[in-house]
Copies of this chain bind each other. A is one copy, B any other.
Amino acid sequence: MTQPTPTPVSTAPNGEEFPLPGPEDYDREISRLKQLCKSQQDQGRQIVVVMGVGFVGAVMAGVVADAWDKDKNDSPYFVIGMQRPSPRSFWKIPMLNRGLAPVEAEDPEVAPLISRCVLEKQTLTASFAYEALSLADIVVVDVQCDYLKDRLGNVREGNVEIAALEDSLKVIGAHIRPDCLVLIETTVPPGTTEYVAYPLIKKAFAHRGIMDVEPLLAHSYERVMPGRHYVKSIRDFWRVCSGINQASRDRVAAFLSMVLNVDQFPLTVLERPIESETAKIVENSYRATILAFLDEWSLFAERNGVDLIKVIDAIKVRPTHNNMIFPGPGIGGYCLPKDGGLGVWSYNALMGFEDDIFKITPMAIDINDTRALHVAELVRDALRNMGRIVAASRIALLGASYREDVGDTRYSGSELVVRKLTEMGGDLVIHDPYVTHWWELEKQDTYPSPGRSWSRFFRNQERLSDTRIRQDLSDALKDADCMILAVRHDAYMDLDPEQMVALSGKPMAVIDCFGILSDAKIQHYFELGCEVKGLGRGHIKRIKDRIQKKQ
């Protein structure tokens, strides 16, 4: 496990500093937990430890702590959110214990959920002491399992960063009671529960002299989605689970049935963990494939007078095709850029096959990872048509996040657009109403999984380290030679061309990455002297020709 050099404090996003715990803090914490759990168990509650209170774990902890047992008319679980006391993450523990959610969220349900469970129901606490594990009836593992790519556009040249998960499983094996259910919720390479977790925990048990006891191991994957329905996407959504034996399957099904809304969103129980692990990878690779498939047609459309946006709308009318989605300036988010890689890696590294059966899954990721670079080509070509070059231009990018109306910037297409145009010497100005800090640009060395940052694939990236996101469009657009509409944020869907050109102070290149501009708006920009180009929007040339014919 890569350890950053330890420093004595952990700094929260709001700037508040928390000293890391010392030996005396541990003693106090352990006795706090023991007392708490004793009193909770006396009330008939089971103890659930959620390992990793990040994007999934924090809300999952809240959902479990908020569960209600109708038969007993009481909360069935007391939850301990666990986090390693590292400088990067320790702050989450004191924050959670104040009743504050350690994740930023557009969902108004998150803050009250956490505050209700911590302060009112008192069914949720957070801790840094692994001894919490020894008190647990159930451990839910939400530790990240990343995928490190060594090259851009080549997922096969990469590796799963499974060390953090393995470390957590060793710690779990060293502490839990033999009858504790370990539920892995992390998206993992198929086979991880049986081929990685099981032997680690068995060995840890043996080391403790616990023989002839089969660990209780289960896997279930979340389908969490950032945005306004963040909590619902965990609690009120279909789940798939499985266990390594009947007892594990029964336990995980009972647990999930208690905490999730399974009446409306029935649970699917599969036989083996590798089946639910595979389901998650296939599910996300499917989406990645659908998006990658459209990349080549996007280029075909651009070059041959086709508006792919309208074509997709025409196709989506058909119910069997209504999940077709335009790929925008690249495919971001935490899952789609990596999950297929976990599958390919598993086949070779865990399952031990040397042949190569994967064609589309890795190719889709490679296509998606490099799609954003084409946006830079459109910017270059549009500026060239106006007699300008990227290296001498001020370029305003509107939208930093990977998805509309959220502030989540993980692996967003916009990040690559910014990096590429910066490499080409452009002067980038960023606007996003949902993003206050673009961590990936600001803190390249400590960003979640350091090796994964795209920065090392481009030159000139030091220029980005003091990037500050503008919240004000007039600020962002001032003197802009180019405006890139990168995300379908609500605020960008109906911008007035007249006003935009007034803000920049001159005709500019306008790049539509996401079918944001109507034909009327495109025409208006041309009439104002702008040059317009768009991903997959080959009909723009026709609009320009019509105007020139009129003139």
Contacts and interface: CB of A to CB of B under 8 A. Distances in A.
Given A343-B300, A347-B300, A318 B357 contact: no
A270 B310 contact: yes
A303 B275 CA distance: 12
A351 interface: yes
Contact of A363 (B306, B347, B357, B360): B360
A310 B322 CA distance: 23
Contacts of A282: 294, 297, 308, 311-312, 315
Nearest to A266: B317
Given A270-B314, A278-B311, A353 B303 contact: yes
A304 interface: yes
A167 B520 CA distance: 40
Nearest to A360: B293
Interface stretch (A80-88, A284-292, A449-457): A284-292
B275 A285 contact: no
Chain A contact residues: over half helix, strand or loop, or mixed?
Answer: helix
How many copies of this chain sit in the oligomeric assembly? 2
A236 B270 CA distance: 39
A141 interface: no
A283 B357 contact: no
A484 interface: no
A296 B191 contact: no
Contacts of A238: 317-318
B272 A314 contact: no
Contacts of A285: 293, 297
Given A306-B274, A310-B270, A357-B299, A223 B318 contact: yes
A267 to B, nearest CB: 10
A271 interface: yes
A323 interface: yes
A233 B458 CA distance: 51
A317 B239 CA distance: 9
A292 B293 CA distance: 12
A357 B542 CA distance: 22
A318 B237 CA distance: 8
Q: How large is the interface on A (under 10, 10 to 19, 20 to 34, 35 or more residues)?
A: 35 or more
Interface string A310-341: 11111101101111100000000000000000
A234 to B, nearest CB: 14
A359 interface: yes
B283 A361 contact: no
A279 B318 CA distance: 12
A468 B272 CA distance: 43
A304 to B, nearest CB: 5
Given A300-B278, A311-B282, A293 B323 contact: no
Interface in A247-294: 266, 268, 270-272, 274-276, 278-279, 282-283, 285-287, 289-290, 292-294
B324 A360 contact: no
A278 B301 CA distance: 8
Nearest to A310: B270
A143 interface: no
Contacts of A317: 238, 266, 268
Most buried by B among A240, A300, A361: A300
A296 B361 contact: yes
A206 to B, nearest CB: 25
Given A190-B304, A268-B317, A318-B238, A360 B296 contact: yes
A92 interface: no
Interface of A: 190-191, 223, 238, 240, 266, 268, 270-272, 274-276, 278-279, 282-283, 285-287, 289-290, 292-294, 296-297, 299-301, 303-308, 310-315, 317-318, 320-324, 343, 347, 351, 353, 357-361, 363-364, 367, 539, 542
Given A191-B304, A282-B315, 20 more contacts: A190-B304, A190-B306, A223-B318, A238-B317, A268-B313, A268-B314, A270-B310, A270-B311, A271-B542, A274-B305, A274-B306, A275-B306, A275-B310, A278-B306, A279-B311, A282-B294, A285-B297, A289-B289, A290-B290, A303-B353
- 8 A-B pairs with the lowest CB-CB distances in the bound complex, closest first: A268-B314, A238-B317, A279-B311, A240-B314, A289-B293, A283-B315, A293-B360, A299-B357
18 contacts: A271-B307, A271-B542, A274-B304, A275-B310, A278-B304, A278-B311, A279-B311, A279-B314, A282-B294, A282-B311, A285-B293, A286-B315, A289-B290, A293-B360, A296-B359, A296-B360, A304-B351, A323-B323
